[in-house]
């Protein structure tokens, strides 16, 4: 019963790998996911803080501007302010420590420019603002911060205007803010190489120049990076309705981005900031890389370990199996031998007595034939022949019985000093003529270091003779019989080897070879007892007899005898 | 006939025993048979024998047991043990107990005659 070792190997190996790899993967992946979440949260929070800081800065800037304009509007008489020389002095004071303003103007309630100081004097001095949207707004609200617009100067700008009341008359003090200041504030949010920040108004029009894509007063355009860059016209989602600051990770036409939006308090603007996850989450990507690398290394280690360990284990199992099989084979053979020898002895005994009677009676008849004067009887020769035949066949039966009993006998073996090589020489000598006659060569392969052993010479000789006979019979004619000896120093045993180049035997034949009455020879040629007797003799001498055979190549019998 | 060798054949196998007796008598020996150990001891009480051929394997009283009694009763009788091959041990044991020799069954008549002759010579030598 051969075990399927390959299947066992895989089962064991996969079990080890499975039980180690699954927990490893679960732990690694869940830790990674957890870390991912935490880190993403952290990054989002950072982004939120950053966009709010920018927004606050912007608010501060606008509030300061408003405060300054207010101060100017309420600390000067309108009669002074409409004097352009006076207004020019005020403006140069305002402008002395900052470049926040482009121009300044005073407008009456009919929309006429009463006074103007700034670079667009020719265009704007004569302008009437009565129909401008901001004009209505400031008239009704008293203070107005406009969106960016082109106006008469055809250049993007925005204004802050306050209403001045004096003696039931109203004027408007109007200042154009330098857009560069706002741009500077917003652009401080361009941190990464792919990040962007801009302001949109309540109708999703750009109030500042974004880093990528879009012009003043157009809708912001999303720019894609990386392979197959095709800018097309992907718009940003409309974030103009943002009230509460928010950070979102979203997909714009398949592009993963972080978008943060914060509403500017002092106007209707929304500050939008965009970040690329690749950039801000790069530590995370690095973490992933290491996780995969370490996991792969772990898997490799586990698999290698499992394979090596399983190999060792399977080899051990295989060895144990082999030993067990050998032991059980030997035990089986020994048991079989005991049972068979008992049976053989029983049969021999039962047959022996009638055989003895037949022999004696035949003998008696023979005696009588000699004594009596029966020569006259015409059948005398027939009687005589018949009696001879009886005796002859009784003798044949007796030989079989003696062989059988020889197999079963339990005689104490003699103890003599034997030179094994001499014994082999002597024994092969008996058969050399016979072998030569059928053209079989007997080759000798003796070792020189074979020691003298103590055993039963004649019994060993009987066994060797039997094996040589078998070898010659197995070859038939034309072949080589090799007789060898060897000293097994490790176990202090002597090995005798008889190999032939005969027809060999099949596995089935080999299994039965030591059974009594088993023979491969023709009927009548062999009793089938030789090898079973040889087996029991060697066994009794404390040795072992083994056989190896290959069909078509020959058979090797090995006898191992203890030195003592 | 005075110097004819007196032989007692002890064997439970009738055909064998009777034929042997006939054949020995035909060869100028004075042979008799006994079909068991007990019978043999009875016969031995009444008559004197030179040689006894004793089968090892018999019912009731086996050859070894019989030999013990014989050696007590009439130690001068030489005993030849008749044994199957497998009971060589018994043959050897018999010799330890004082038997002259042992013969394996079935034995050719000449071998038996030879051994009987040797046993007789030994007995005469010692007598």
Output the six-digit token pair for A452. 């003298």
Chain B residues in contact with chain A using a Cβ-Cβ cutoff of 8 Å: 13, 15-16, 19-20, 22-23, 26, 57, 84-86, 88-89, 104-109
- Give yes or no: residues A372 and A439 share one domain: no
Q: Which of B19, B84, B106 sits opposite A349 (nearest CB)?
A: B84
- Give yes or no: residues A432 and A487 share one domain: yes
Are B106 and A394 within 8 A, CB to CB?
yes
Contacts of A349 in chain B (CB under 8 A): 57, 84, 86
Are B89 and A360 within 8 A, CB to CB?
no
CA distance A224 to A240: 22
Is A50 exposed, middle or buried, given 0-12, 13-18 or 19+ CB atoms closer than 10 A? Answer: buried
CB A450 within 8 A of CB A463: no
Task: Look at residue A200 in the predicted model and tell me its pLDDT.
Answer: 92
Are A348 and B22 within 8 A, CB to CB?
no
CA nearest neighbour of A79 among A197, A160, A169: A169
Are A356 and B85 within 8 A, CB to CB?
no
Are B15 and A371 within 8 A, CB to CB?
no
Q: Does A355 touch chain B (CB under 8 A)?
A: yes
Residue of A nearest to B89 (CA): A411
Q: A535 in a domain, yes or no?
A: yes
Q: Which of A345, A355, A363 sits opposite B86 (nearest CB)?
A: A345
Q: A132 in a domain, yes or no?
A: yes
Contacts of B35 in chain A (CB under 8 A): none
Are A409 and B13 within 8 A, CB to CB?
no
Residue of B nearest to A345 (CA): B86
Distance to chain B for A533, nearest Cα, Å = 13
Would you place residue B42 in the very low, low, confident or very high pLDDT band (cuts 50, 70, 90)?
A: very high
- Give yes or no: residues A273 and A344 share one domain: no
Output the six-digit token pair for A142. 């008293």
Q: Which of A345, A367, A406 sits opposite B23 (nearest CB)?
A: A367
- Give yes or no: residues A18 and A163 share one domain: yes
- Count of domains forming chain A: 3
As a three-state string, the secondary structure of chain B is: CCCCCEEEEECCCHHHHHHHHHHHHHCCCEEEEECCHHHHHHHHHHCCCCEEEEECCCCCCCHHHHHHHHHHHCCCCEEEEEECHHHHHHHHHHHHCCCCEEEECCCCHHHHHHHHHHHHHHHHHHC
CA distance A327 to A530: 24
Q: Residue A433 maps to which CATH number?
A: 3.30.565.10
Please identify which residue in the block is written with the tokens 């500050």: A271
> Residues 6 or more apart from A97 whose CB is under 8 A from it?
none
pLDDT at B61 over 80: yes
Backbone angles phi, psi at B8, to 5 degrees: -115, 120
Are A360 and B86 within 8 A, CB to CB?
no
- Give yes or no: residues A169 and A299 share one domain: no
Contacts of B13 in chain A (CB under 8 A): 353, 356-357
Is 3.40.50.2300 the CATH classification of the domain at B6-126?
yes
Task: Look at residue A555 in the predicted model and tell me its pLDDT.
Answer: 92
Task: Look at residue B102 in the predicted model and tell me its pLDDT.
Answer: 82
Q: Does A345 touch chain B (CB under 8 A)?
A: yes
Q: Which of B16, B84, B108 sits opposite A357 (nearest CB)?
A: B16
Residue of B nearest to A361 (CA): B19
Angle at B120 between CA B111 and CA B77, to 5 degrees: 110
Output the six-digit token pair for A214. 């879009």
Neighbours of A539 (CB within 10 A): 15
Task: Look at residue A225 in the predicted model and tell me its pLDDT.
Answer: 66
Q: A525 in a domain, yes or no?
A: yes
Angle at B12 between CA A345 and CA A392, to 5 degrees: 60
CA distance B17 to B15: 6
Q: Among residues A376, A407, A438, which one ends one of the domains?
A: A407
Q: Which of A348, A371, A410 sits opposite B84 (nearest CB)?
A: A348
Backbone angles phi, psi at A487, to 5 degrees: -105, 125
CA nearest neighbour of B123 among B48, B73, B64, B63: B48
- Give yes or no: residues A439 and A376 share one domain: no
Q: A232 in a domain, yes or no?
A: no
Which of B86, B105, B107 would best serve as a mutation to test chain A binding (most A beta carbons within 10 A)? B86
Distance to chain A for B56, nearest Cα, Å = 12
Q: Among residues A407, A437, A472, which one ends one of the domains?
A: A407
Q: A521 in a domain, yes or no?
A: yes
Distance to chain B for A343, nearest Cα, Å = 12
- Give yes or no: residues A266 and A367 share one domain: no
CA distance A157 to A134: 13
Distance to chain A for B122, nearest Cα, Å = 26
Task: Look at residue A371 in the predicted model and tell me its pLDDT.
Answer: 72
CA distance A371 to A407: 40
Neighbours of B93 (CB within 10 A): 18
CA distance B76 to B53: 14
Name the 3-class secondary structure at A297: helix
Taking residues B65-89, what's their average pLDDT?
82
Task: Look at residue A313 in the predicted model and tell me its pLDDT.
Answer: 92
Task: Look at residue A406 in the predicted model and tell me its pLDDT.
Answer: 64
Q: Which of B57, B85, B109 sits opposite A405 (nearest CB)?
A: B85
Cα separations (Å) of A412 from A415, A456, B89?
Answer: 9, 10, 9
How many residues are present in chain A? Answer: 564
Residue of A nearest to B13 (CA): A353
Residue of B nearest to A359 (CA): B106
Pairing state between β A169-177 and A221-222: unpaired
Q: A226 in a domain, yes or no?
A: no
Contacts of A353 in chain B (CB under 8 A): 13, 16, 105
Are B15 and A411 within 8 A, CB to CB?
no
Task: Look at residue A411 in the predicted model and tell me its pLDDT.
Answer: 45
CB A497 within 8 A of CB A544: no
Task: Look at residue A410 in the predicted model and tell me its pLDDT.
Answer: 45
Sign of CA dihedral B64, B70, B76, B79: negative
* A-to-B residue pairs, Cβ atoms closer than 8 angstroms: 62
Task: Look at residue B26 in the predicted model and tell me its pLDDT.
Answer: 87
Would you place residue B1 in the very low, low, confident or very high pLDDT band (cuts 50, 70, 90)?
A: very low
Task: Look at residue A414 in the predicted model and tell me its pLDDT.
Answer: 61
Is A350 exposed, middle or buried, given 0-12, 13-18 or 19+ CB atoms closer than 10 A? Answer: exposed
Cα separations (Å) of A289 from A26, A40, A284, B48?
Answer: 17, 17, 9, 116
CA nearest neighbour of A423 among A561, A271, A516: A561
Q: A37 in a domain, yes or no?
A: yes
- Give yes or no: residues A211 and A319 share one domain: no
End-to-end CA distance of chain A: 37
Task: Look at residue A229 in the predicted model and tell me its pLDDT.
Answer: 53
CA distance A394 to A366: 14
- The H-or-E segment that residue A559 falls in is strand A554-562
Residues 163-192 of A with CB under 8 A from B: none
Which of B9, B14, B19 would best serve as a mutation to test chain A binding (most A beta carbons within 10 A)? B19
pLDDT at B36 over 50: yes
CA distance B16 to B112: 13
Q: Does A394 touch chain B (CB under 8 A)?
A: yes
Task: Look at residue A45 in the predicted model and tell me its pLDDT.
Answer: 92
Neighbours of B9 (CB within 10 A): 25
CA nearest neighbour of B32 among B53, B2, B58: B53
- Give yes or no: residues A265 and A213 share one domain: yes
Are A363 and B23 within 8 A, CB to CB?
yes
CB A218 within 8 A of CB A148: no
Are A357 and B15 within 8 A, CB to CB?
yes
Task: Look at residue A334 in the predicted model and tell me its pLDDT.
Answer: 67
Half-sphere exposure of A187 (CA within 13 A, CB side): 11
CB A180 within 8 A of CB A97: no
Are B85 and A348 within 8 A, CB to CB?
yes
- Give yes or no: residues A86 and A211 share one domain: yes
CB B91 within 8 A of CB B81: yes
Q: Residue A118 maps to which CATH number?
A: 3.30.450.20
Half-sphere exposure of A4 (CA within 13 A, CB side): 5
- Give yes or no: residues A248 and A382 share one domain: no
Task: Give average pLDDT by consecutive 10-residue segment, chain A, 564 residues.
Answer: 81 90 90 90 91 93 92 90 91 86 91 91 88 89 91 90 88 91 88 88 90 85 65 78 88 85 90 87 86 91 92 91 80 71 76 86 86 73 87 84 65 70 84 83 90 83 85 88 91 92 86 78 66 84 89 91 85
Q: Which of A361, A367, A410 sits opposite B89 (nearest CB)?
A: A410
Q: Which of B23, B86, B109 sits opposite A349 (nearest CB)?
A: B86
Are A353 and B13 within 8 A, CB to CB?
yes
CB A173 within 8 A of CB A186: no
Q: A224 in a domain, yes or no?
A: no
As a three-state string, the secondary structure of A120-165 is: CHHHHCCCECCCCHHHHHHHHHCEEECCCECCCCCCCEEEEEEEEE
> Residues 6 or more apart from B9 whose CB is under 8 A from it?
B17, B20, B21, B24, B31, B32, B33, B34, B53
> Residues 6 or more apart from A512 whose CB is under 8 A from it?
A518
Distance to chain A for B24, nearest Cα, Å = 10
- Kindly list the domain boundaries of chain B, sorted by start residue: 6-126
Which domain covers residue A44, as residue numbers? Answer: 1-219+240-280
- Give yes or no: residues A119 and A161 share one domain: yes
As for the ipTM of the complex, it is: 0.79
Contacts of A398 in chain B (CB under 8 A): 106
């Amino acid at each position: 019963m051969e075990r399927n070792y390959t299947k066992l190997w895989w089962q064991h190996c996969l079990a080890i790998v499975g039980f180690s790899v699954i927990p490893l993967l679960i732990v690694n992946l869940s830790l990674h996911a957890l870390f991912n979440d935490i880190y993403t949260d952290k990054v989002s929070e950072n982004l939120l803080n950053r966009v709010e800081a920018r927004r606050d800065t912007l608010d501060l800037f606008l509030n300061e501007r408003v405060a300054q304009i207010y101060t100017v509007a309420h600390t000067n008489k309108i009669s002074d302010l409409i004097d352009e020389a006076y207004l020019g002095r005020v403006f140069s004071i305002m402008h002395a420590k900052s470049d926040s303003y482009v121009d300044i103007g005073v407008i009456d309630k009919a929309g006429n420019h009463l006074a103007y100081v700034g670079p667009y004097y020719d265009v704007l001095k004569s302008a009437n603002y009565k129909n401008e949207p901001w004009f209505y707004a400031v008239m009704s609200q008293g203070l107005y911060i406009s969106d960016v617009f082109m106006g008469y100067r055809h250049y993007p700008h925005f204004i802050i205007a306050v209403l001045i009341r004096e003696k039931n008359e109203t004027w408007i003090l109007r200042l154009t803010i330098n857009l560069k200041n706002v741009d500077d504030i917003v652009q401080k949010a361009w941190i990464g190489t792919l990040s962007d920040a801009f302001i949109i108004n309540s109708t999703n029009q750009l109030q500042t120049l974004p880093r990528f894509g879009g012009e003043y007063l157009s809708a912001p355009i999303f720019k894609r990076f990386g392979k197959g860059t095709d800018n097309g016209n992907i718009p940003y989602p409309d974030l103009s309705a943002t009230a509460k600051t928010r950070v979102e990770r979203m997909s714009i036409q398949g592009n993963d981005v972080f978008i943060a939006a914060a509403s500017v308090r002092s106007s209707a603007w929304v500050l939008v900031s965009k970040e690329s996850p690749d950039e801000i989450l790069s530590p995370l990507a690095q973490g992933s890389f290491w996780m995969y690398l370490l996991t792969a290394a772990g898997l490799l280690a586990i698999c290698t370990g499992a394979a090596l360990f399983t190999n060792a284990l399977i080899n051990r199992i295989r060895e144990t199996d082999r030993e067990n099989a050998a032991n059980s084979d030997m035990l089986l053979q020994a048991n079989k031998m005991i049972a068979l020898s008992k049976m053989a002895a029983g049969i021999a005994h039962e047959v022996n007595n009638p055989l003895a009677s037949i022999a004696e009676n035949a003998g008696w008849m023979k005696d009588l034939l000699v004594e009596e004067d029966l020569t006259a009887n015409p059948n005398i020769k027939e009687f005589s022949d018949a009696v001879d035949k009886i005796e002859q066949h009784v003798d044949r039966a007796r030989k079989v019985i003696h062989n059988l009993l020889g197999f079963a006998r339990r005689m104490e073996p003699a103890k003599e000093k034997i030179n094994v090589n001499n014994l082999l020489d002597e024994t092969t000598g008996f058969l050399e003529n016979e072998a030569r006659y059928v053209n079989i060569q007997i080759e000798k392969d003796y070792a020189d270091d074979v020691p003298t052993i103590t055993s039963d010479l004649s019994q060993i000789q009987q066994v060797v003779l039997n094996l040589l006979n078998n070898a010659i019979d197995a070859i038939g004619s034309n072949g080589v019989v090799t007789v060898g000896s060897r000293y097994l120093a490790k176990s202090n045993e002597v090995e005798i080897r008889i190999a032939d180049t005969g027809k060999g035997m099949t596995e089935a034949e080999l299994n039965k070879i030591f059974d009594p009455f088993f023979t491969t020879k023709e009927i009548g040629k062999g009793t089938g007892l030789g090898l079973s007797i040889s087996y029991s003799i060697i066994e009794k001498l404390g040795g072992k007899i083994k056989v190896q055979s290959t069909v078509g190549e020959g058979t090797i019998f090995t006898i191992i005898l203890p030195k003592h | 006939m005075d110097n004819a060798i007196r032989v007692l054949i002890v064997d439970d196998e009738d055909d064998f025993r009777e034929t042997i007796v006939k054949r020995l008598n035909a060869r100028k020996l004075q042979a008799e048979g006994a079909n068991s150990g007990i019978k043999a001891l009875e016969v031995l009480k009444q008559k004197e024998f030179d040689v006894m051929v004793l089968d090892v394997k018999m019912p009731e009283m086996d050859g070894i047991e019989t030999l013990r009694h014989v050696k007590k009763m009439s130690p001068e009788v030489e005993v030849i043990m008749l044994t199957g091959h497998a009971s060589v041990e018994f043959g050897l044991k018999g010799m330890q107990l004082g038997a002259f020799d042992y013969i394996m069954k079935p034995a050719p008549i000449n071998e038996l005659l030879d051994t009987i002759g040797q046993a007789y010579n030994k007995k005469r030598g010692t007598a």
